[in-house]
Structure 1
């Protein structure tokens, strides 16, 4: 019953949401050492994914995850990309 919200700093993701006029519902995929290589994604998900947008190679740095389910005590679940303030 918990929902995760991600606000990506990615021009393709932002343009899709903007053009659609609403957020995009998606899921994460397991990441490995080749998580930034678009051709690895294409090979791995051929026949499974309906569409793959090649946005170039990623930096491989995972997002920071903050649990806000207890508004008085936010908890950093995973420190990654992004500045903690």
Structure 2
């Protein structure tokens, strides 16, 4: 059974944050809220966790996983950002955007798009997510909690607990969460290309 963790949305309890991070360090898989919608997350080196996310979501080999980063310093360790793109990306973060960018050698090979060697990255504007990232000290490997054959992500912690009780290790609840995934911008070819319109204003990249 998954653990249900009720966190305050503005002042998440440090003791509970530490317990969730301990679970992540022990290769656990969590469902957690972000500034766009709920996501599945695990530690970067958690190979079993990656496989579990693929299984829960029925994902193919070409799915772009996302690295949820705390700040730009962390962001820059895992992807290459050209000077021309840097200002655009910085102006849109933190917020509801995911950027597809060429990965550095810090990113495990199994996370990369098999042909493009790219990965998704983003910096969320969400108190609870930021608290988890600060305690974890590394990015969360993540994927939107959108189940197969469903058009919208799950938004309620209690419902996620009911439906995914035996396939995740913890469900984090900090109140109401949105139902719109991030806006996805492919920056891997130089010129930004909008792949999905979501919470972030796409006009910045048009």
TM-score surpassing 0.5?
yes
- Could you say if the C-alpha distance between residues 33 and 75 of structure 1 is closer, same or farther in structure 2, counting changes exceeding 3 Å? closer
1:83 maps to what in 2? 201
Q: TM (normalized to structure 2)? A: 0.37
Deviation beyond 3 Å, 4+ runs, structure 1: 31-34
Unaligned runs of 5+ in 2: 1-116
Q: Deviations over 1:9-60 (max 9, x none)?
A: 2111111111122211223321544621111111111011111111212121
TM-score normalised by structure 1 residue count: 0.82
Name the count of aligned residue pairs.
84
Answer with 1 or 2: which has the greater Rg.
2
Which structure is richer in relative contact order (CA contacts within 8 A, separation 6 or more)? 2
CA distance in 1: counterparts of 2:162 and 2:123, whole angstroms: 27
What is the aligned-residue RMSD (CA, Å)? 1.8
Where structure 1 has 5 or more consecutive residues not aligned to the other structure, the ranges are none
* Structure richer in helix, relative to its length: 2
Specify the alignment match of 2:121 in structure 1: 5
Higher strand share: 2
